Chain A
Amino acid sequence: MNELIRTENLTKEFETRTGFTGISKIKALDNVNISLFPNEIVGIVGASGSGKSTLAKILVFLYKSTSGKIYFKDEDITKIHGKSLKKYRKEIQMIFQDPYASLDPYHSIEWHIKRPLLTSHYSGNIDDRIDELMNMVKLTPPEYYKNKFPHQVSGGQRQRVYIARVLALNPQILIADEPVSMLDVSLRIDVLDLLSKIKNELGIGIIYITHDLNTVSMVTDRIYVLHNGEVVEDGYTNTILTSPHDGYTKALIEAASDPYKRI
């Protein structure tokens, strides 16, 4: 099977002002090569500022890379625009950290899921599709949740509403940037389980971004460890977590919290 998405020497520099006169450059991504296959969850792991969100934003075309290439199903899409960009944007959807900010407080949960179906001119029965999506993300029974507003459900449920909303567009790729870090422990597992379920049932590829190696070990098949914009280690999650080579990966593992450990 071929890659859904692949990057080749992806590099991103930001210019920042320093003092009154100087401009300095930050290399947020440095020759990054990653790939994602259908039916897998790939983790992008690293400490704060390592470049994780920058990578995600480039893949969804919120940022432009400084150099390097992006391939979507073997096609070079680095420079696409107009209609083809619009088409690609539908195929790759992003879930953010804050489930509060990503929903509109003045609209019902049903509206949030219906809206993308309308705008994408869904050809089937819209009500059936809404039910199907709500069942998929376990907002069940759908009738119970449809007319509620975002503030009337828990953070975990809000995150699931948002996931249903992006799944309505039938994407082939999902990027989840710290999707559970703002949720209480009791709600995290459900959202993580949901990512695995989506992968298994829809066969899509998921990029899971986090600094938390505990959740990475739970949901991902492979990982890339980012440090100062560079991939310092990559491979199967189990292999890396049990026998890391890079010092930075080791530090991340050592710092991962565990109630059975002692500080």
Chain B
Amino acid sequence: MDNSAIEIKNLNVGYNTENSFSLIIKNFNLSIKKGEIFGIAGESGSGKSTLAQAIYRSVKYPGEIDSGEIIFKDKDILKMEANDLRKIRVTLFSFIPQAAMNALNPVRKIRYQFYDLLLAHGILPEKSNDKIFSVLKMVRLNESVLDNFPHELSGGMRQRTVIAMSLLLNPELVILDEPTTGLDVLVEHEILKDLKNIQRKYGITMIFITHDLAILYEISDRIAMIYAGEIVELGPRDDMLEHSTHPYNFLLLKNIPRIGVKMNNPIKLKGNPSNFNENFPGCQFYERCPFSKAVCSEKHPDLKEYSNEHYYRCILFPEWKQGV
């Protein structure tokens, strides 16, 4: 049996600039399993949203998908006719873009925004009120929100509305880009718990993207760390937490303040974020890495297997870890 919900193969995505094309997502390969929460982490500018948009084939100019395949239900999304693509969106897989809760139509009541979504899929809204009520219930919103305008709802309620919309037609896969960023801690925590419950109850596959490593580790089954548009470490959540193989994952984990845990001057990343240089021949993390040696600047590291399902992209592993 094929256990893969979606498979990304040799994906290259970038942005057209005045006189060139700069590649952001580079030769990206990833297979997401059915029924898992797959977490993608990386700092600002690492390419998370670009990747998410590419998976949903919603990259807009100046962005452009250069090459690759995204296999979903035996078909390559990137080669699908626009019409076929529209049919499977929301019904089979859906996408909540970054800051979607601020992108609701401000002059249209929530009810009609649900109706619009149904109409776009050829479904008569009048017959679907029960469906709408049931997704609202899933995200623990009162039916009364249907008669509100977006600005009459709190940030958390708007985010729940957007999540409800993404679930409206029972998709098998949902891509969530920073679904709780900017929300209050208490609200964020509640929404994360609800998302996990919904995911477990209905067996939905979720791709959960955030820059917030702590919540990613709280919610995910497997995790990929992205740096400069590449996976630098990938594995089951527990393994990634207990046995980091890449300095990036290791250092970020060490640098997250936690209640009741004394920080003894942890080793820090060097340099600045988003200092990516496409033409650099060596490890993209070289400038930031406190463990780097000359060899790291010479050759681009491949993704290697550490243990079952756990991969890393570092020339000096396990050597670097002996010193810490």
Interface contact B215-A257, CB-CB below 8 Å: yes
Contacting residues of chain B (197-216) with chain A, CB-CB under 8 angstroms: 211-216
Chain B residues within 8 Å of A254, by CB: 189
Within 8 A of A (CB), among B274-314: 288
A192 partner residues in chain B, CB cutoff 8 A:
257
Q: Is the CB of A185 within 8 A of B255?
A: yes
Give the distance to chain A from B18, nearest Cβ to Cβ, in Å: 18
Q: Let me know if B255 and A186 touch, CB within 8 A.
A: yes
Is residue A217 within 8 Å, beta carbon to beta carbon, of the partner chain? yes
Binds B, one of A61-69, A75-83, A85-93, A207-215: A207-215
Which residues of A are found within 8 Å of B273, using beta-carbon distances? 154-155, 184, 186-187
B219 contact set on A, CB distance < 8 A: 263
B241 within 8 A of A: yes
Of B184, B185, B251, B253, most buried by chain A (CB within 10 Å of CB) is B185
Contacts of A124 in B (CB 8 A): none
Q: Which of chain A's residues have a CB closer than 8 A to the CB of B258? A: 214, 217, 258-260
| Chain B residue with the shortest CB-CB distance to A256 | B259
Q: Are B259 and A213 in contact (CB under 8 A)?
A: yes
Q: Pick from A47, A186, A189, A257: contact of B212, CB below 8 A.
A: A257
How many residues from B make CB contacts under 8 Å with A?
39
Asked if B272 and A189 sit within 8 Å, CB to CB, the answer is no
Chain B residue at minimum C-beta to C-beta distance from A185? B252
A218 to B251, CA, bound (A): 17
Given contacts A153-B272, A184-B43, contact A261 B189 (CB under 8 A): no
Instruction: Report whether A185 and B260 are in contact in the complex, using a CB–CB cutoff of 8 Å.
Output: no
Nearest Cβ in chain B — how far from A115, in angstroms? 24
Query: A169 interface residue, CB < 8 Å from B?
Result: no
Contact with B along A242-263 (1 / 0, CB 8 A): 1000000001111111111111
- The reply to whether A217 and B218 contact each other, CB–CB distance below 8 Å, is no
A259 x B217 contact (CB < 8 A): yes
- Contact (Cβ within 8 A) A212 B185: yes
A259 & B43 in contact (Cβ 8 Å cutoff): no
Whether A114 sits at the interface, judged by CB under 8 Å, is no
Query: What is the CA–CA distance of A261 and B192 in the complex, to the nearest angstrom?
Result: 13
Stretch at the interface among B94-102, B127-135, B262-270: B262-270
Do A242 and B43 form a contact, CB below 8 Å, given A186-B269, A211-B184, A254-B189? no
Of A154, A188, A189, A261, the contact of B218 (CB 8 Å cutoff): A261
Quick one: which of B150-200 are within 8 Å of A by CB? 155, 184-189, 192-193, 196
Q: How far is the CA of A190 from the CA of B272 in the complex (A)?
A: 12
Interchain CB contact (< 8 A) of B186 among A186, A217, A251, A262: A251
CB distance from A177 to the nearest CB of B (A): 15
Instruction: Report, as a range, how many residues of chain A touch the other chain.
Output: 35 or more
Whether B256 is near chain A, meaning CB under 8 Å from some CB there, is yes
> Considering only CB atoms, which chain B residue lies closest to A261 in the complex?
B218
**Max chain B C-beta neighbours (<10 A), residue from A217, A252, A255, A263:** A263
- B24 → chain A closest CB, angstroms: 17
Contact present for A214 and B256 (CB under 8 Å): yes
Q: How far is the CB of A42 from chain B (nearest CB, A)?
A: 17
The B-contacting residues of A in range 126-164, CB under 8 angstroms, are 153-155, 157
Chain B residues within 8 Å of A217, by CB: 257-261
Cα separation A196 to B192 with both chains bound (whole Å)? 32
Q: How far is the CA of A212 from the CA of B214 in the complex (A)?
A: 12
The chain B residue with its CB closest to the CB of A153 is: B272
Is residue B4 contacting chain A, with contact meaning CB distance below 8 A?
no
Contact of A60 with B by CB under 8 A: no
Q: A47-B186, A186-B251, A186-B288 are in contact. List 12 more A-B contacts (CB 8 A).
A: A184-B44, A186-B255, A186-B268, A188-B257, A189-B263, A190-B268, A257-B214, A258-B256, A258-B259, A259-B213, A260-B241, A262-B218
Residues of B near any A CB (own CB < 8 A): 43-44, 155, 184-189, 192-193, 196, 211-219, 241, 251-253, 255-261, 263, 266, 268-269, 272-273, 288
Write the residues of chain A forming the contact surface with B, with a CB cutoff of 8 angstroms.
47-49, 153-155, 157, 184-190, 192, 211-215, 217-218, 241-242, 251-263
Q: List 21 A-B contacts (CB under 8 A).
A: A47-B184, A47-B186, A154-B272, A154-B273, A155-B44, A184-B273, A186-B288, A187-B273, A189-B263, A190-B268, A214-B256, A217-B260, A217-B261, A218-B257, A218-B263, A241-B259, A255-B185, A257-B212, A258-B218, A259-B217, A259-B258
